[in-house]
A and B are shown apart, each in its own frame.
Chain A
């Protein structure tokens, strides 16, 4: 269920994402922190996915 909610939020993200004031961190240094955010999303996303696979592998081992 949590996974489904996450996916639902993901598809709405482009509409919800709304940058606030121009002076915040994300706009400093030519918006380089946007790149950092993107790299972090990829890293955390892949790690979460690997954790999920690990969990399913443990469940599979118990069954057999």
Chain B
């Protein structure tokens, strides 16, 4: 029970994020309207994805220094849960955008080719596909130690590619996605102090939920692979 405090915290933060996120009074924003409340959910998916990929990276580096297969299993599972959160972030972003900046009813809407050329969408798709390649690489190598070592090295590359594809390149190019001149999650112009009181706990809550699911998968795989683990 003493080790479960962060799971209780996760549930409390997510309840706070959903209830508070729907009740908090928001600033009057032109294009967004009430949809700005999605910041607590859509951006929370990306925060969870980043935390999970970072955990995966740490375990990959630890595998390379210690050659313990437990670290390899952990890195694999953290990355797979991170991908799920990335896909959820992508799906929620698609719905949100189709009623705001990609909405044909919006007077500022340009054309579908402008949406298709949107660097943020392409950047995140590339980042997620690089992580898909991590799983393909893993399943293509038979030898367990070789698989663990090569995929650990690839995982470091995949994490390094997150920053140019998601953060650097979309901010250099003209984009319809908000938050162009900085971090959209930590933008102070589009949010009020009341919103930020919910935003940060929500981000932590989603990240904890992702880590929770990942730890369950890791424990299951420890049991499954117990003949290979020292």
Contact = CB atoms under 8 A, between A and B. Distances in A.
Tell me the interface secondary structure of chain B in the complex: helix
A17 B220 contact: no
B69 interface: no
Given A45-B88, A49-B84, A15 B115 contact: yes
B45 interface: yes
B87 A38 contact: no
Given A19-B99, A19-B103, A60-B220, A45 B84 contact: yes
Given A35-B37, A35-B41, A13 B91 contact: yes
Tell me the interface secondary structure of chain A in the complex: helix
Contacts of A39: 18, 41
Nearest to A49: B84
Nearest to B132: A7
B12 interface: no
Interface residues of A, number: 31
Interface residues of B, number: 40
A36 B168 CA distance: 31
Interface centre among A11, A14, A18, A41 (most CB of B within 10 A): A14
Contacts, number: 97
A30 B33 contact: yes
Given A42-B45, A50-B213, A35 B102 contact: no
Interface centre among A22, A27, A42, A49 (most CB of B within 10 A): A42
A18 B95 CA distance: 9
Interface in A29-45: 29-32, 34-35, 37-39, 41-42, 45
B35 A17 contact: no
Given A14-B93, A19-B98, 19 more contacts: A13-B90, A14-B98, A17-B98, A17-B102, A19-B99, A31-B33, A31-B99, A32-B34, A34-B35, A34-B38, A35-B37, A35-B38, A42-B45, A42-B92, A46-B84, A46-B213, A49-B84, A49-B213, A53-B220
17 contacts: A10-B94, A14-B116, A14-B121, A17-B94, A26-B99, A30-B33, A31-B33, A31-B99, A35-B21, A35-B37, A38-B95, A42-B88, A42-B92, A45-B84, A45-B87, A45-B91, A46-B209
Interface of A: 7, 10-11, 13-15, 17-19, 22, 26-27, 29-32, 34-35, 37-39, 41-42, 45-46, 49-50, 53, 57, 60, 64
